[in-house]
Structure 1
């Protein structure tokens, strides 16, 4: 069954961060040669909670879709793109996912094959949108309030904003303990609901995709711990 993964890398120092930025272009030919890889995106991230237009030059991501989880784990452990990133990164974390719902398109395709939900435990909400250039200023004006709303929610286990092209391509990724808490956040009034209403009424997006996943596994650490489980695994400097 299809396996989706998100790998985050944290880089220290100007040299490592410059290298990671350059790999947004240089890693593309390598990604095309990875066996079993049907869809992938190389992404940067935002500052703060991640949902901001200001880039975080320390954090980069690889989102990938494989034919099954065995291929995903093999590639992330040994394939050249992940190995190169990991060798220069201070920290790396991968979460493995099973798609359980998806609607919309990403770069003109529907990348996720929805599967029957046979797992328990945390759920992931992923949204991806291409913002119309003429609307970008209005869209990003609302984002800080949405970011604070997500960050202050006591149920969210992990959240980050990433993207392929600054300002125009935005991806939100959040992990929730269950469907009830995820749904409660989506339905409650406030900045998030107001932003959704504005997007719908103003047709701000050229392309959009909304997907839900069940978490099936993870490896590595982020901020010295497992973000999904909240279990301290190791320490980190700074």
Structure 2
């Protein structure tokens, strides 16, 4: 069963941040040679809640797909490119995800293979969009209200905005305790729903992908601990 990993890295100090930025181009050849890797993307992140056009020079992400969970854990924790990121980073956190539904395309392909969901525990939602350049200003005008809405939602366990190309290739990722809370946010009559309507009416995106995952496990820390465990303990 395919496993998707999302690896987040936080860097402190100008030299290490400069190194991480340079890897957006320099590390591509190394990741292409990692055994068993089926799909991978190097991404930067946004400031604040992450869903902003201003880059966060401290946080970078690696999204990858693998044939199964054991391979995903082995490669993200021990293979050369991932190990170099971990060694340079102040903090790192790996999420392991099982795709349960996938719709759309990413760079002309469908990178995730959905399987039936018989699991329990948190669910993750990922959206990836290529914003048409002439629509970018309209798109980003709506983003701050959506970001604030996600930040206020008491159910969201974790959220981050990442992207391959600033302003144009954007990925949103969030984790929810169950399908009901995820659906309630998506369907609420607020900034998010109005933005979705505007996207459809205005044809803002040239390509879209929507995927849902079951969280299989985590490794490492983020913000001094595991966000999923911390939220559960607080509840």
TM-score band, normalised by shorter chain = over 0.9
Counterparts of 1:8 and 1:18, CA distance in 2: 16
Deviation, structure 1 residue 231: 6.4
Q: Which residue of 2 aligns with 1:127?
A: 127
Q: Do structure 1's residue 17 and structure 2's residue 25 form an aligned pair? A: no
Count of aligned pairs between the two proteins: 233
2:142 pairs with 1:142: yes
Once superposed, what is the RMSD of the aligned Cα atoms?
1.2
In structure 2, runs of 5+ residues without a counterpart are: none
Trace 1:4-153 onto structure 2 (pairs within 5 A): 4-153=4-153
1:25 deviation in Å? 0.6
Normalising to structure 1: TM-score of the pair?
0.96
Cα distance in 2 for residues equivalent to 1:65 and 1:231? 26
Partner SS, residue 228 of structure 2:
coil
Q: Please name the residue that 1:172 is paired with.
A: 172
- Given that 1:225 and 1:231 are in contact with CA atoms closer than 8 Å, whether structure 2 keeps it comes out as no
Write the deviation string for residues 112-171 of structure 1: whole angstroms up to 9, x where unpaired: 100110210100010000000000011000000000011100000000000000000110
Instruction: Using the TM superposition, give the Cα deviation of residue 77 of structure 1 relative to its aligned residue in structure 2, in angstroms.
Output: 1.2
TM-score using structure 2 length: 0.98
Q: Give the whole-Å Cα distance in 2 for the aligned partners of 1:201 and 1:195.
A: 10
Residue 203 of structure 1 aligns with which residue? 203
Q: Which runs of 4+ in 1 moved over 6 A?
A: none
